[in-house]
Amino acid sequence: MNRDNVPFLRRGLMLVLSSPSGAGKTTISRAILKHDLNLTMSISVTTRPMRPSEVDGEDYYFVDEKKFKLMINRGQLLEYANVFGNFYGTPKQPVEDALLNGQDILFDIDWQGTQQLADNENAKKDLVSVFILPPNTIELENRLRARAQDPEEIVQQRMSKAADEMSHYREYKYVIVNDDIEASVKCIEKILVAERICIERQIGLHEFVQNLRTSS
């Protein structure tokens, strides 16, 4: 059951947050997850090398390319993409289980993955996509450097990719300019409140109304 305090079952939703690296998406995601008990993070599979601060099974499942391709061939990924020369993908089963149980899932995936979800007849009705823009490019570069986890060459690569990534903002339902983390978090929380009461997500609603009508 979900924790919306409604007396019937709701289908979960897939909240996708995309942005160029350094737009503040990770900070925003952490803040939302902390306050929202009905939201869990989808843990992606990646072939990217693990960063020093990362934990296998928490940040990502780190696998080699052979294993990743096996997962593709077995149909175990809901979506996948090559980002900066590494593969990233979303394991399908945990998402399907969560949605059925009325659990919402937060995805930190790129525009390619979001497009795949939007083009998938089954997935698109569960999709709530949000694109996060930085307030300006100076801020974007500062945030990328402040991380200091990636070599300079990668930082430069990501900066030049940012313009490309930002061109995809139109493919999202909501766009937020992240000037202020707290305001952006509040904004996404409001989106969640509204999207959760979409009629098609309230799958127990029909029966609930029938009962209200027959007992009145």
Binding site for ligand 5GP (CB under 6 A): 21, 44, 48, 79, 81, 83, 88-90, 108-110, 112-113
Compare residues 172 and 196 and give the one whose CB is closer to ligand 5GP: 172
Compare residues 110 and 126 and give the one whose CB is closer to ligand 5GP: 110
Tell the smallest beta-carbon distance from residue 14 to ligand 5GP (Å): 12
How would you classify residue 13: left for phi > 0, otherwise alpha for psi between -120 and 50, otherwise beta? beta
Compare residues 76 and 112 and give the one whose CB is closer to ligand 5GP: 112
Tell the smallest beta-carbon distance from residue 207 to ligand 5GP (Å): 35
Tell the smallest beta-carbon distance from residue 147 to ligand 5GP (Å): 9
Compare residues 90 and 202 and give the one whose CB is closer to ligand 5GP: 90
Residue (of 92, 107, 125, 116) closest to 171 by Cα position: 116
Spatial CB neighbours of 129, under 8 Å, sequence gap ≥ 6: 16, 18, 114, 117, 118, 171, 172, 173, 174
Spatial CB neighbours of 183, under 8 Å, sequence gap ≥ 6: none
Tell the smallest beta-carbon distance from residue 88 to ligand 5GP (Å): 3
Tell the smallest beta-carbon distance from residue 44 to ligand 5GP (Å): 3
Compare residues 106 and 187 and give the one whose CB is closer to ligand 5GP: 106
Spatial CB neighbours of 21, under 8 Å, sequence gap ≥ 6: 144, 158, 161, 162
